[in-house]
Amino acid sequence: MRGPLMVTISRALTRRGFAVLRFNFRGVGQSTGSHDYGIGELDDVSAAIAHAEETHPDLPLGITGWSFGGAVALRWQARDRSDIPYVGIAPPATGEGAHRLPEPGTLLAAPRSFIVGDRDQVIDREALARYAASIGAPLHVLSGSDHFFHFREEEVASLVANGLGAQAGGNESGVAFE
């Protein structure tokens, strides 16, 4: 939540008029609970969405997540049948159990896109490219960037802001989660 990438994205979104809710999953940082390997974390996303809907009922929603958070956010969309805009930042397309992205057929149609570095040392970029194609989502590949997007935070933030703004029909104010 306090990593340079997430802080930069939050600042970029707020500059563009988004209300932003950042949170740690259970057991991370000073949050309560304990890590549940991507299962209970789906409920964390549900709670954040409910909070945003109560706090800003007049604003459109969008969701973004990085790595594990990106996978959990997309899995939440499948579980809760959500069609809000989504931007996934280097989520793992392969893996076991709760870390795996949802089956494409379990997702409602929605505006979605992905961002990955061509030097990502954590996830399988080619697998993510295949997954993105299977759901009709654009994949933005940042040349020379790794999983942490060092020195590329502003570029990632711009892609997220543009993606959520464009996906919300050009209305650049809304609530985004990361």
The structural domains of the chain, with segments of one domain joined by +, span: 4-177
pLDDT at position 172 is 46
* 169 pLDDT above the threshold of 80: no
Question: What is the rounded CA–CA span in Å between residue 119 and residue 125?
Answer: 8
* 47 pLDDT above the threshold of 90: yes
Residue bearing the bigger pLDDT, 166 or 16: 16
Per-residue confidence at 170, pLDDT binned at 50, 70, 90? very low
Single out the residue of 111, 121, 62 nearest to residue 90, CA to CA: 121
- Can you name the CATH fold of 4-177? Rossmann fold (3.40.50)
Q: Which of 6-20, 84-98, 154-168 has the lowest mean pLDDT?
A: 154-168
* 82 pLDDT above the threshold of 90: yes
